[in-house]
Amino acid sequence: MQNKIKNKRIFVIGTAWLLMGIGLLIMMILSKDLDLKSIALSVLGFLVGIMYLISSFDEKSSKELMNDMDDERDKFIEYKSKSITLLVMDILIFISMIILGLMYKFNTADRNILIPVITSLLFVYLMQLLSYAITYIIISKKS
């Protein structure tokens, strides 16, 4: 009986986990730095890799794993959390620019340090707004 790979994506994920577990164990042995946490992590990576590899050959479990990976609710939560993260980062960058600008205005810090910091924060903020606008245009055209 010939075993065929039913799901190549899960097979690749399993191989990666397996190689990470084995690689970590080899690195620990070569560096002679064996500790309990690293050994547990290596064993965990090895076992997760074996689980994914076994699932990639079984049609029923590979379909279940793909359904779990493609769950729309999980994708919605992921998109929502990324959106909230972007909003929080916008607010934090904006507030830090205001604080640094006030420090610059009232000479509470060295101006030679503040100018590059304010400029880089402004650049990051503008790049973030630009990337948001581009992705919004792309997504709205696809819908």
Q: Which residue has the tokens 């916008």?
A: 90
CA distance 105 to 57: 66
Judge contact between 65 and 7, C-beta under 8 A. Answer: yes
**DSSP collapsed to 3 states, 66-122:** HHHHCCHHHHHHHHHHHHHHHHHHHHHHHHHHHHHHHHHHCCCCCHHHHHHHHHHHH
Q: How much is the pTM?
A: 0.46
Q: Are residues 65 and 106 in the same domain?
A: no
> How do residues 111-139 score in pLDDT, each as one tens digit?
777 778 778 888 888 888 788 788 778 77
Q: How many structural domains is the chain composed of?
A: 2
- Among the candidates 54, 69, 84, a domain finishes at 69
Q: Is the sign of the CA dihedral 17, 18, 24, 27 positive or negative?
A: negative
Q: Quote the pLDDT of residue 37.
A: 83
pLDDT tens-digit readout, 18-68? 999 898 888 888 888 778 888 888 899 899 899 888 888 877 776 776 676
Residues 88 and 108 in one domain: yes
**Do 131 and 76 fall into the same domain?**
yes
Q: With beta carbons less than 8 A apart as the criterion, state whether 32 and 87 touch.
A: no
Residue 65 sits in the same domain as residue 95:
no
* Same-domain status, 83 and 138: yes
Looking at 21, 44, 69, which one is the last position of a domain? 69
User: Is a pLDDT exceeding 80 seen at residue 11?
Assistant: yes
Exposed/middle/buried for residue 28 (C-beta within 10 Å: 0-12, 13-18, 19+): middle
Residues 32 and 77 in one domain: no
Residues 135 and 92 in one domain: yes
- Residue at a domain's end among 69, 85, 101: 69
Same-domain status, 64 and 116: no
